[in-house]
Amino acid sequence: GENVEQHPSTLSVQEGDSAVIKCTYSDSASNYFPWYKQELGKGPQLIIDIRSNVGEKKDQRIAVTLNKTAKHFSLHITETQPEDSAVYFCAGPAGGGSEKLVFGKGTKLTVNP
Amino acid sequence: NAGVTQTPKFQVLKTGQSMTLQCAQDMNHNSMYWYRQDPGMGLRLIYYSASEGTTDKGEVPNGYNVSRLNKREFSLRLESAAPSQTSVYFCASSELLGNTEAFFGQGTRLTVV
């Protein structure tokens, strides 16, 4: 994407461990930060999102944290399971006052049984 | 309720041929998008339509044209296909531009030989 950087590009963990993926952005005006999961052969699907008026949001084993000062937001997956294996994308502001979102380059997560 | 439907699912073109990728959504969404996905490049925005009657260029518009036929349908046209356009194409829609959940189609795998 134009102004969104995502790290790492690949991540391998053992089942039951935690996984963390981080994205940074440059446009401080945005207020919406989603995370998408893409399984093989399918389109991406939203798994969690956060707006700038909160610093953290949880949904069962998934959480997203937002640091607006540092301009980064992270996806946390706890107690990972093999079915968590997928490619994860963050999305953030395109910059320049545009409301459209651009996606990070993705993180391929592999959870080893 | 089918969500976002793309056709075709697979296509092989010869260099110089033209084709149109079709996309329709049944969620009464205002905004629609076309992305391409290449290995290691994430999802790159080709064109988008913030609302019926408007279209705008994204990150990689060269070689493509779009038509927002009505609120439901947003088509992507390749006038003269090139091998560099070999990719997986995704259509998506959202209620509003940028700050609401995007719903993706299943993708079109296009090969240009």
Tell me: pLDDT of B43 over 60. yes
Residue in the structure block whose two tokens are 């719903």: B103
Phi, psi of B85 (to 5 degrees): -95, 5
pLDDT band of A92, cuts 50, 70, 90? confident
Nearest CA to B99 among A99, A94, A45, A5?
Answer: A99
Query: Contact B102/A105, CB-based, under 8 Å?
Result: no
Nearest to A105 among B41, B98, B99 (CB): B41
| Cα–Cα distance for residue pair B113/B109, rounded to 1 Å | 13
- pLDDT tens, A52-90? 888 899 999 999 999 988 989 999 999 999 999 999 999
The size of the A-B interface in CB pairs under 8 A is 68
DSSP state of A56: E
Per-residue pLDDT band at B96 (split at 50, 70, 90): confident
Name the residue among B58, B99, B105 with its Cβ closest to that of A32: B99
Mean pLDDT of B58-65: 95
Residue A1 is predicted with a pLDDT of 45
Mean pLDDT of all residues in B39-50: 90
Chain B environment of A41 (Cβ under 8 Å): 106-107
Longest dimension (CA), chain A: 44
Closest CA to A87 of A107, A73, A105: A107
Q: How confident is the model at residue A96 (pLDDT cuts 50, 70, 90)?
A: low
* Spatial separation of the C-alpha atoms in residues A44 and B63, rounded to whole Å: 24
- Is residue A99 scored above 90 in pLDDT? no
Beta-bridge partners for B85: none
B33-46: b or e for each residue (b if 16 or more CB lie within 10 Å)?
bbbbbeeeebbbbb
